[in-house]
Protein backbone atom coordinates (compact mmCIF):
# COMPACT_ATOMS: atom_id res chain seq x y z
CA UNK A 1 0.00 0.00 0.00
CA UNK A 2 2.78 2.43 0.88
CA UNK A 3 4.44 1.61 -2.41
CA UNK A 4 1.28 2.59 -4.28
CA UNK A 5 1.15 5.87 -2.36
CA UNK A 6 4.70 6.56 -3.52
CA UNK A 7 3.64 5.88 -7.11
CA UNK A 8 0.86 8.47 -6.85
CA UNK A 9 3.20 10.96 -5.18
CA UNK A 10 5.83 10.53 -7.91
CA UNK A 11 3.26 10.87 -10.71
CA UNK A 12 1.91 14.08 -9.19
CA UNK A 13 5.41 15.50 -8.63
CA UNK A 14 6.34 14.92 -12.27
CA UNK A 15 3.31 16.72 -13.69
CA UNK A 16 3.38 19.47 -11.06
CA UNK A 17 6.92 20.31 -12.10
CA UNK A 18 5.94 20.86 -15.75
CA UNK A 19 2.20 21.56 -15.61
CA UNK A 20 2.15 24.60 -17.91
CA UNK A 21 4.57 23.08 -20.39
CA UNK A 22 2.53 19.89 -20.49
CA UNK A 23 -0.68 21.89 -20.98
CA UNK A 24 0.80 23.75 -23.93
CA UNK A 25 1.86 20.42 -25.48
CA UNK A 26 -1.55 18.83 -24.89
CA UNK A 27 -3.47 21.75 -26.37
CA UNK A 28 -0.93 22.16 -29.17
CA UNK A 29 0.60 19.36 -31.22
CA UNK A 30 -1.37 16.58 -29.46
CA UNK A 31 -4.82 18.11 -29.91
CA UNK A 32 -5.56 16.66 -33.35
CA UNK A 33 -4.73 13.10 -32.26
CA UNK A 34 -6.87 13.45 -29.16
CA UNK A 35 -9.73 14.84 -31.26
CA UNK A 36 -9.95 11.57 -33.18
CA UNK A 37 -10.45 9.71 -29.90
CA UNK A 38 -13.00 12.12 -28.41
CA UNK A 39 -14.92 12.08 -31.71
CA UNK A 40 -15.25 8.28 -31.66
CA UNK A 41 -16.33 8.35 -28.03
CA UNK A 42 -18.97 11.01 -28.66
CA UNK A 43 -20.32 9.08 -31.65
CA UNK A 44 -20.83 5.99 -29.49
CA UNK A 45 -22.44 8.03 -26.71
CA UNK A 46 -24.84 9.53 -29.24
CA UNK A 47 -26.15 6.04 -30.03
CA UNK A 48 -27.33 5.53 -26.45
CA UNK A 49 -30.96 6.33 -25.73
CA UNK A 50 -30.57 8.74 -22.84
CA UNK A 51 -31.80 12.30 -22.45
CA UNK A 52 -29.18 15.02 -22.81
CA UNK A 53 -27.00 16.47 -21.46
CA UNK A 54 -25.00 13.28 -20.99
CA UNK A 55 -22.82 13.17 -17.87
CA UNK A 56 -19.20 12.27 -18.65
CA UNK A 57 -16.20 11.90 -16.35
CA UNK A 58 -12.82 12.69 -17.89
CA UNK A 59 -10.70 10.55 -15.56
CA UNK A 60 -7.17 11.92 -15.63
CA UNK A 61 -8.29 15.10 -17.36
CA UNK A 62 -4.87 16.77 -17.12
CA UNK A 63 -5.05 20.40 -18.32
CA UNK A 64 -8.63 20.04 -19.61
CA UNK A 65 -8.20 19.73 -23.37
CA UNK A 66 -10.74 16.93 -23.79
CA UNK A 67 -13.04 18.42 -21.17
CA UNK A 68 -13.30 21.48 -23.36
CA UNK A 69 -14.18 19.32 -26.37
CA UNK A 70 -16.95 17.55 -24.45
CA UNK A 71 -18.30 20.83 -23.10
CA UNK A 72 -18.49 22.31 -26.61
CA UNK A 73 -20.16 19.25 -28.11
CA UNK A 74 -23.68 19.96 -29.38
CA UNK A 75 -24.52 16.50 -30.73
CA UNK A 76 -24.71 15.06 -28.15
CA UNK A 77 -24.67 17.76 -25.50
CA UNK A 78 -22.64 16.78 -22.46
CA UNK A 79 -22.03 17.69 -18.86
CA UNK A 80 -18.32 17.00 -18.52
CA UNK A 81 -16.60 16.68 -15.14
CA UNK A 82 -12.84 16.35 -14.84
CA UNK A 83 -10.92 14.31 -12.28
CA UNK A 84 -7.17 14.53 -11.74
CA UNK A 85 -4.80 14.07 -8.82
CA UNK A 86 -2.46 16.92 -9.77
CA UNK A 87 -3.65 20.21 -8.26
CA UNK A 88 -1.74 22.35 -10.76
CA UNK A 89 -3.27 20.54 -13.73
CA UNK A 90 -6.71 20.77 -12.13
CA UNK A 91 -6.35 24.54 -11.84
CA UNK A 92 -5.37 24.81 -15.49
CA UNK A 93 -8.24 22.53 -16.52
CA UNK A 94 -10.80 24.64 -14.65
CA UNK A 95 -9.51 27.83 -16.23
CA UNK A 96 -9.23 26.51 -19.78
CA UNK A 97 -12.45 24.46 -19.92
CA UNK A 98 -14.75 26.22 -17.41
CA UNK A 99 -15.87 22.74 -16.30
CA UNK A 100 -16.11 21.31 -12.83
CA UNK A 101 -12.84 19.59 -11.93
CA UNK A 102 -12.36 17.37 -8.90
CA UNK A 103 -8.84 17.02 -7.54
CA UNK A 104 -8.54 13.51 -6.14
CA UNK A 105 -6.91 10.17 -6.80
CA UNK A 106 -8.82 7.76 -9.02
CA UNK A 107 -9.60 5.29 -6.24
CA UNK A 108 -11.51 7.98 -4.33
CA UNK A 109 -13.97 9.06 -7.04
CA UNK A 110 -16.71 6.92 -5.52
CA UNK A 111 -16.98 9.63 -2.85
CA UNK A 112 -18.02 12.17 -5.48
CA UNK A 113 -20.36 10.21 -7.75
CA UNK A 114 -23.37 8.05 -6.99
CA UNK A 115 -23.77 4.50 -8.25
CA UNK A 116 -25.16 4.30 -11.81
CA UNK A 117 -24.98 8.09 -12.24
CA UNK A 118 -22.58 8.52 -15.17
CA UNK A 119 -23.09 7.66 -18.83
CA UNK A 120 -19.48 7.87 -19.99
CA UNK A 121 -16.03 7.60 -18.42
CA UNK A 122 -13.14 8.72 -20.61
CA UNK A 123 -9.58 7.65 -19.74
CA UNK A 124 -7.14 8.77 -22.43
CA UNK A 125 -3.49 8.15 -21.50
CA UNK A 126 -4.23 8.14 -17.78
CA UNK A 127 -4.74 4.61 -16.45
CA UNK A 128 -1.28 3.57 -17.55
CA UNK A 129 0.03 5.58 -14.59
CA UNK A 130 -1.56 3.03 -12.23
CA UNK A 131 0.26 -0.12 -11.14
CA UNK A 132 -1.46 -3.13 -12.64
CA UNK A 133 -2.44 -4.41 -9.20
CA UNK A 134 -4.76 -1.39 -8.85
CA UNK A 135 -6.69 -1.96 -12.09
CA UNK A 136 -9.15 -4.61 -10.83
CA UNK A 137 -10.50 -2.50 -7.96
CA UNK A 138 -10.70 0.62 -10.14
CA UNK A 139 -12.50 -1.17 -12.98
CA UNK A 140 -14.99 -2.54 -10.46
CA UNK A 141 -15.61 0.99 -9.19
CA UNK A 142 -16.00 2.44 -12.70
CA UNK A 143 -18.47 -0.31 -13.57
CA UNK A 144 -20.55 0.60 -10.53
CA UNK A 145 -20.57 4.32 -11.40
CA UNK A 146 -21.77 3.76 -14.97
CA UNK A 147 -25.44 3.75 -15.90
CA UNK A 148 -26.79 0.66 -17.71
CA UNK A 149 -25.08 0.44 -21.14
CA UNK A 150 -22.78 3.30 -20.10
CA UNK A 151 -19.48 3.57 -21.95
CA UNK A 152 -15.89 3.35 -20.74
CA UNK A 153 -12.93 4.41 -22.90
CA UNK A 154 -9.56 3.05 -21.79
CA UNK A 155 -6.14 3.36 -23.38
CA UNK A 156 -2.74 1.86 -22.75
CA UNK A 157 0.56 1.95 -24.56
CA UNK A 158 0.59 -1.44 -26.26
CA UNK A 159 4.05 -1.89 -27.78
CA UNK A 160 5.33 -3.91 -24.80
CA UNK A 161 4.12 -5.58 -21.62
CA UNK A 162 5.55 -3.48 -18.77
CA UNK A 163 4.50 -2.53 -15.26
CA UNK A 164 7.23 -0.48 -13.64
CA UNK A 165 8.50 2.98 -12.78
CA UNK A 166 10.02 5.04 -15.59
CA UNK A 167 13.27 6.97 -15.29
CA UNK A 168 11.35 10.21 -14.69
CA UNK A 169 9.50 8.72 -11.71
CA UNK A 170 6.10 8.19 -13.34
CA UNK A 171 4.56 4.74 -13.46
CA UNK A 172 4.31 2.94 -16.81
CA UNK A 173 1.68 0.20 -17.07
CA UNK A 174 1.84 -0.77 -20.75
CA UNK A 175 -0.70 -3.39 -21.80
CA UNK A 176 -0.77 -5.27 -25.11
CA UNK A 177 -4.25 -5.10 -26.60
CA UNK A 178 -5.12 -8.70 -25.75
CA UNK A 179 -4.37 -8.14 -22.04
CA UNK A 180 -6.15 -4.79 -22.15
CA UNK A 181 -9.33 -6.47 -23.40
CA UNK A 182 -8.93 -9.34 -20.95
CA UNK A 183 -8.96 -6.96 -17.98
CA UNK A 184 -12.18 -5.36 -19.22
CA UNK A 185 -13.97 -8.61 -20.00
CA UNK A 186 -13.01 -10.08 -16.61
CA UNK A 187 -14.74 -7.10 -14.99
CA UNK A 188 -18.00 -7.53 -16.92
CA UNK A 189 -17.41 -4.94 -19.62
CA UNK A 190 -18.54 -5.72 -23.16
CA UNK A 191 -16.12 -4.65 -25.91
CA UNK A 192 -17.69 -2.15 -28.34
CA UNK A 193 -14.79 -0.85 -30.45
CA UNK A 194 -11.01 -1.23 -30.62
CA UNK A 195 -8.63 1.12 -32.39
CA UNK A 196 -5.14 2.57 -32.17
CA UNK A 197 -3.87 6.12 -31.95
CA UNK A 198 -0.55 7.89 -31.73
CA UNK A 199 -0.34 10.50 -28.99
CA UNK A 200 2.23 11.72 -26.46
CA UNK A 201 5.13 10.17 -28.38
CA UNK A 202 3.65 6.68 -28.26
CA UNK A 203 1.32 4.15 -29.83
CA UNK A 204 -1.82 3.52 -27.81
CA UNK A 205 -4.40 0.78 -27.92
CA UNK A 206 -7.83 2.27 -27.26
CA UNK A 207 -10.90 0.25 -26.26
CA UNK A 208 -14.46 1.49 -25.90
CA UNK A 209 -16.48 -0.91 -23.79
CA UNK A 210 -19.86 -0.80 -22.13
CA UNK A 211 -21.52 -1.86 -18.91
CA UNK A 212 -23.21 -5.13 -19.78
Q: pLDDT digit string (tens) for 109-134?
A: 999 999 999 999 999 999 999 999 99
Contacts 24+ apart (CB under 8 A), 68-77: 68/96, 68/97, 68/99, 69/34, 69/35, 69/38, 70/38, 70/42, 70/99, 70/122, 71/97, 71/98, 71/99, 73/42, 75/46, 76/42, 76/45, 76/46, 76/52, 77/52, 77/53
Contact 60, 86 (CB under 8 A): no
Share of the chain above pLDDT 90, in %: 94
Range of the domain at 7: 2-211
pLDDT at residue 1 in the model: 38
CATH code: domain of residue 56: 3.40.50.150
pTM: 0.96
Comparing 131 with 202, which gets the higher pLDDT? 131
Question: In the chain, how many domains are there?
Answer: 1
Instruction: Report the C-alpha gap between 210 and 212 in whole angstroms.
Output: 6
Mark out the alpha helices in 48-102 (DSSP H runs).
Answer: 65-72, 87-97
Please compute the mean of the pLDDT values over residues 125-152 and round it to a whole number: 97
Amino acid sequence: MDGNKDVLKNNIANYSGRAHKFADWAFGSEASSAAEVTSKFLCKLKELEYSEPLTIIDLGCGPGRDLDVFKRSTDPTCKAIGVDACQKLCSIAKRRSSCEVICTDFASIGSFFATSSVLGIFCLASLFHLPRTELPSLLKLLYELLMPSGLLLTSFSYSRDEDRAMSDGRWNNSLPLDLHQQFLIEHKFEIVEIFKCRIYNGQWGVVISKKS
